[in-house]
Amino acid sequence: MTQGSLPNFLVVGAAKAGTTSLYGYLGSHPQVFMPRTVKEPLYFVLGEEENHFQYRDWRSVTMDCSVDWDAYCRLFRDAGDAAAIGEATPYYLPHPAAPAKIAARLGRPKIIVLLRDPVARGYSHYTYNRMRQVERAPTFAEAVKAELALENPWYAIKYMRSGLYAEMVGRYFDQFGRENVKVLLFEDLVGERDVTLRGVYDFLGIDPAHAAPDEVRNVTLEENAVTSTLYRLKGSDSALGKLARRTHGFLTKSDIYLSTKEKVFDMARDLAGKSAGKPERLDAETRAGLQTLVAEDTVRLQSMLDRDLSAWLR
């Protein structure tokens, strides 16, 4: 693999802040290459240290991850002469070691960060996990209480801790320089999509006049009851769980696996069943309490970005 075949930009998060949509919009640009078979390789989180990754709930980690360098490199082998080569892994934002790992392998790629109102982001993440049947807490308030009760934050970087952005963004500023880090807000992508995308295209040095499709298709294996069971199996410490991880590691090196995965996505989407039902609405009292939790960090981030974020706190 040559350096030219590797990413020169990364979308690093945050989860549930529009990264999948941005991945789809960028993937539609003729000067951009992003792997179609794997949106979130997770290499700079897991790397070759799968057994040492301190994450309590393996069920939240996709089965698409590339845990060795050769497998990661193969994702970009068809990049050709694309001007912008990238991938999107939301877990890169909260992981404290990810910026240094990225720099060690890729030098100084462009970094794109998407942020969202921390409470809305956390609640969206909770409802997503409930849909996947990997969150047992019946209410968001109980899920957050359980998260905050854990002393090791890497056992609970899910809902509200994932919304304490200031330190996370600061690590990327320090590692790559502010000029190489573009921070967007979820509201930007939703409310001013075309203007926002032109800014991203310009940041990446590609044609800013490209017209993005009106919609991008977001598909996930996790919506399917069968595949969600496989996620839980892969995350267990049982002999079957260890076998599932070894088998998946083997499959990710297979050309057949990569070439047929998109078809599996389509099948999974057709079979998807959301049996968990609709979660409760986020009540005003819970929201107000969580806004207090993130207020200090939000004010700090506001100063770092020189942007008014007061809407997040009301």
pLDDT tens figures, 273-290:
344 456 678 889 999 999
Tell me, what DSSP letter sits at residue 17?
T
Average pLDDT value for residue range 219-226: 43
pLDDT at 198 over 80: yes
Look at residue 50 and give its three-state secondary structure: helix
Report yes or no on whether pTM surpasses 0.85. no
> pLDDT at position 255, please?
60
pLDDT at 304 over 80: yes
pLDDT at 237 over 70: no
CA-CA distance, 314 to 4, in Å (whole number)?
46
CA-CA distance, 204 to 10, in Å (whole number)?
10
b/e map 195-216, b = 16+ CB within 10 Å: ebbbebbebbebeeebebeeee
Structural domain spans, the chain: 3-313
- Residue 113 pairs in a beta bridge with 13, 183
> pLDDT at position 150, please?
78
Q: What is the CATH number of domain 3-313?
A: 3.40.50.300
pLDDT band at 68 (very low <50, low <70, confident <90, very high): confident
pLDDT band at 267 (very low <50, low <70, confident <90, very high): low
pLDDT band at 300 (very low <50, low <70, confident <90, very high): very high
> pLDDT at position 37, please?
73
- Tokens coding 153: 């934050």
Per-chain mean pLDDT for the chain: 81
pLDDT at 254 over 80: no
